[in-house]
Amino acid sequence: MSHDHHHAPVASRYDLAPERSDIGLIRPDRFTGWRDWLTTVDHKKIGVLYGAFAMFFFLVGGVEALGIRTQLSRPDNDFITARMYNQLFTMHGTTMIFLGVMPLSAAFFNFLVPLQIGARDVAFPRLNAFSLWTFVFGAFVLNASWLFEFAHLSGWLKSFGWYNALVYTDFAPANGWFSYAPLSGTFGQADAALRAPRFTGVGTDFWIIGIQILGIASLAASFNFICTILNMRAKGMTMMRLPVFTWMTLVTSFLIILAFPAITVALIQLMFDRQFGANFFNPSAGGQPVLWQHLFWIFGHPEVYILVLPAMGIVSEVLPTFSGKSLFGYPIIVFSGAVIGFLGFAVWSHHMFTTGLGPVPTAAFSLLTMAIAVPTGVKIFNWLGTIWGGRVRFTPPMVLSLGFIWMFMCGGFSGIMHSSAPADSQQQDSYFVIAHFHYVLLGGVLLGLMSGLYFWFPKIFGRMPKASVAYWASGLVILGFNLAFGPMHYLGLAGQPRRTHTYHAGFGWETWNYVATIGAFILGIGVFIAFANLVWTAFRGEKCSSDPWDGRTLEWSLPSPVPEYNFARSPVIACRDAFFAHKHGAHRLVYEQDGGEAGVHMPSQSWMPLLASCGFLLAGLGMPMSAMGVPHAGWVVIAGLGVLFLGIWLWALEGPGGYMLKTPVAPAPAPAEAAASR
């Protein structure tokens, strides 16, 4: 029955004879073009797809942000309606966090982790494809709400009976990315159909199911990376020799598997409140709205570190490379990353200082929040120590990483300011907070991720982005960013609350809001140039060597673009920064005697992860449509769950498959060659 390993090794997967899986279908191993991309299980291609979707959604979230800023550019503006404004800030936050930063981090995880640990793929390649497509369909479900909203605004829905029976006509979510109950939930008593009155329309249902699906994608990916990092390291790649980016991937993955269950539970409760008349958060039936906040923020605060730790990992790779010096205090950087992850679960209520927790919990969370500044500070000190005594080469990734440290430090400082609960009671929900977390998440995380893009792009595509364009884009991003968010510190302290559609003249907020809007547009242009530069480079950019930066970690020892089997022969590691040591003579890289004519085992491609994910698409669209009252939409949900189970069932039955691929076994470049190739 089993077809495993019965092939003779082939030089290319296109040489394979058509092979049937255990359920009798031809395996899609020989596909090229779009069918190859849809069925791929190659971590590098999946990484590229994650990156492409993430950059697309970054631009979507950016356009939403510019809508917000345009509305706020002058007082009493009515560029967009209040409801549209609320929808924009809800979707801006949700998009940037779940569809922008997280998948872009996932793109790096996917592409880099196997390369950095000397592995040929992740532990579960098909699960990896399932994570990708589940993320894509979750993102689509979330944004499908916009399609309904536009159809509603254009009047296209008027001919439908179910539309005219609707009490609420907001289709895109307008509940904020935090979705506080009971605004997102119900009030009063449920009717005979188990529906209680609500404060918001079906947009919230789109949001609930969309986030739920995205959570499944993140959880599956995280288990995959944990298994990969713990089990698939090359010989000699001990935990304390792991590249810091891989370490941060591991910590982030643990944060995801510990944090997402809380939001999963909360979303199920909220969905039950809305769809089936449950009363978890309904105060008029004895529910507790504050319960939502606890569940949300015990997810939501670790989520902040889920966003920032990968960027810290990137910076911890970029700084040593361009300082020509190993990372200062490697053990303590790793350890402080883990401490940040751990403490991240102990500070959630600092988002709730104004909810009336009482003095003891407020004090406890105040002090813990201050405590988390210590490991964060340690990281900054160690990055400084890395630069100290080095030979700093300025390149686009280095400039962006230095920008990361600077902006993140500023964001950290305003974070210290509102770790103090009494001071925070003036800052909470004001523009000061917006300034703070944009310095951390945009000035910090986005610059870190952009640094990573410019750093690894030559490895991913074998082409080098044009440095002059990169500098201009980075300059515009840094300038526009500070112009947009710097003044918001003042605006917040001058009493402007966030999430407000407009404001009156005479409150002293006019000038700086105008300046912030100009900054936002400069920032938008900068990000657009950077992304356009990268996309252009991917197709047309100048080809470059496999190790253009004098890299330190294993991925730079591979050709660019990286072949699908990654390592022709598995490396054996003797120290940290193994490739750098290899090039500069401390420890030569040694390889195992695998691969070659005997071939390496490659996993088979499969349609099943995509099929299973399609089930989420159907169920995800059906759920809010049934809440709208669209006839038979409930059956779509059931059909979607059916497709999901069918996909997983066939996936289980088709057998793992796989084939043997011959690898060229030329030895790794000798130190002299490596130096010459720069």
Partner 1 sequence: MMSRFIARVGLLVLPVIALLTAGCSEADLKVRQSTFDAKGPVARMQYDIFMDSVYLVTVLFAIVGGLLVYAVIRFRARPGDENKPAIVEDGHGNPVTEILLIVASIGALVFLAIPTLKGIWYQDDVPEDRVPAGRLSVWYPRVEGGVENYAEAVKDQVLEIDVVGKQWWFRFEYPQFGLTNDGRRSVPNELVIPKGVPVRINLRSEDVIHSFWIPKVAGKVDLMPGRRNRMWIQADETGHYYGQCAEFCGDSHAYMLFRCEVLEPADFARWVRAQKQDAPEPPAGSKAAEGKALFAAKTCAMCHNVSGHFGAGAFGPDLTHVASRKSLAGAWLDNRNPEAQRAAEAAAGGNTEASAPVDRAVQKANLIRWIGSSGVLHAEAAEPTRDVKPGNRMHYYKMFNVAGLNETKTKLTPSELDALAEYLLTLK
- Of residues 236, 329, 561, 596, which one binds partner 1 by CB under 8 A? 329
Which of the 8 DSSP states describes residue 147? H
Is residue 5 within the footprint of partner 1 (CB under 8 A)? Answer: no
Piece in contact with partner 1 (CB under 8 A), picked from 62-70, 403-411, 564-572, 594-602: 403-411
Out of 482, 546, 606, 626, the only residue in the binding site for partner 1 (CB under 8 A) is: 482
> Residues 539 to 578: which contact partner 1 by CB under 8 A?
575-577
Q: Which helix (H) or strand (E) holds 543?
A: strand 542-543
Candidates 268, 392, 574, 633; binder of partner 1 (CB under 8 A) is 392
CB of 358 to partner 1, least distance (A): 7
| 214, 216, 250, 405: residue in contact with partner 1 (rule CB under 8 A) | 405
390 binds partner 1 (CB under 8 A): yes
CB of 270 to partner 1, least distance (A): 14
Report the residue from 80, 371, 574, 641 that binds partner 1 according to the rule CB under 8 A: 371
What three-state secondary structure class fits 595?
coil
For residue 365, what are the contacts with CB-CB under 8 A and spacing of at least 6? 347, 348, 349, 350, 353, 357, 421
Q: Between residues 160 and 514, which has the closer beta carbon with respect to partner 1?
A: 514
Q: For the purposes of burial, counting CB atoms within 10 Å of the CB of 18, is it exposed (0-12), middle (13-18) or buried (19 or more)? A: exposed
The SS3 assignment for 186 reads strand
Query: Near partner 1 by CB under 8 A, which window of 55-63, 497-505, 530-538, 619-627?
Result: 497-505
Residue 507: enclosing H or E segment and its boundaries?
none
The reply to whether 672 sits near partner 1 by the rule CB under 8 A is no
Binding to partner 1 in span 232-291, by CB under 8 A: 283-284, 286-290
Closest by CA position to 259, among listed 307, 209, 316, 311: 307
The interface mask with partner 1, positions 289-308, x = CB under 8 A, is xx------------------
**337-366: which residues touch partner 1 (CB under 8 A)?**
354-356, 358-359, 362-363, 366
Separation CA 242–CA 332 (nearest Å): 13
**Piece of 139-147, 217-225, 386-394, 540-548 that binds partner 1 (CB under 8 A):** 386-394
Burial of 10 (0-12, 13-18, 19+ CB in 10 A): middle
Taking alpha carbons only, the member of 85, 60, 63, 59 closest to residue 72 is 85
Beta-bridge partner residues of 464? 542
Peptide bond into 125 cis (omega under 30): no
Closest CA to 248 of 129, 347, 330: 330
Supply 364's token pair: 């406890």
According to CB under 8 A, which residues from 443 to 462 bind partner 1? none
Asked if 79 is part of the footprint of partner 1 (rule: CB under 8 A), the reply reads no
**Checking phi first, is residue 291 left (phi over 0); if not, alpha (psi -120 to 50) or beta?**
alpha
**Among residues 44 and 350, whose Cβ is nearest to partner 1?**
350
Site for partner 1 in 501-540 (CB under 8 A): 501-504, 506-509, 511-512, 515
In angstroms, give the least distance from the CB of 322 to partner 1.
8
Closer to partner 1 by CB, 394 or 649: give it: 394
Distance of CA 508 to the CA centre of its chain: 37
Q: Using the rule CB under 8 A, which residue among 429, 538, 601, 634 binds partner 1? A: 429
The contacts of residue 305 (CB under 8 Å, 6+ apart) are 252, 255, 340, 341, 344
Contact between 75 and partner 1 (CB under 8 A)? Answer: no
What is the per-residue binding string for partner 1 in 579-618, x denoting contact by CB under 8 A? -xx-xxxx--------------------------------
Contact pick of 14, 162, 413, 649 for partner 1 (by CB under 8 A)? 413
For partner 1, the binding residue among 39, 40, 131, 496 (CB under 8 A) is 496
Angle at CA of residue 124, ends 538 and 333, nearest 5°:
70
Q: Is 83 in the site for partner 1 (CB under 8 A)?
A: yes
Q: Which residues pair with 572 in a beta bridge?
A: 235, 590
Among 59, 479, 538, 641, binds partner 1 (CB under 8 A): 479
Binding track, positions 189-218, relative to partner 1; x by CB under 8 A: --------x-xx------------------
Segment 126 to 185, residues that bind partner 1, using CB under 8 A: 167, 174, 176, 180, 182-183
Q: How far is the CB of 11 from partner 1 (least distance, A)?
A: 37
320 burial via Cβ count (<10 Å: 0-12, 13-18, 19+):
buried
With CB under 8 A as the contact rule, the residue among 21, 131, 145, 428 that binds partner 1 is: 428
- Candidates 509, 321, 459; CA nearest to 402 is 321
Half-sphere exposure of residue 612, counting CA atoms within 13 Å on the CB side? 24
Cα separation values, 464 from 393, 394, 411, 527, Å: 17, 15, 31, 18
Q: How many residues bind partner 1 (CB under 8 A)?
A: 122
Nearer to partner 1, 179 or 605 (CB): 179
Query: Smallest gap, in angstroms, from Cβ of residue 340 to partner 1?
Result: 14
> Which residue in the set 160, 406, 521, 528 belongs to the binding site for partner 1 (CB under 8 A)?
406
| Exposure string for 27-57, b = 16+ CB within 10 A, e = fewer | bbbbbeeeebebbbbbbbbbbbbbbebbbeb
Q: Which is nearer to partner 1, 236 or 283 (CB)?
A: 283
* 416 scored as a contact of partner 1 (CB under 8 A): yes
SS3 601: strand
Among 93, 243, 277, 487, binds partner 1 (CB under 8 A): 487
Residues 85-114, mask of contacts with partner 1 (x by CB under 8 A): xx----------------------------
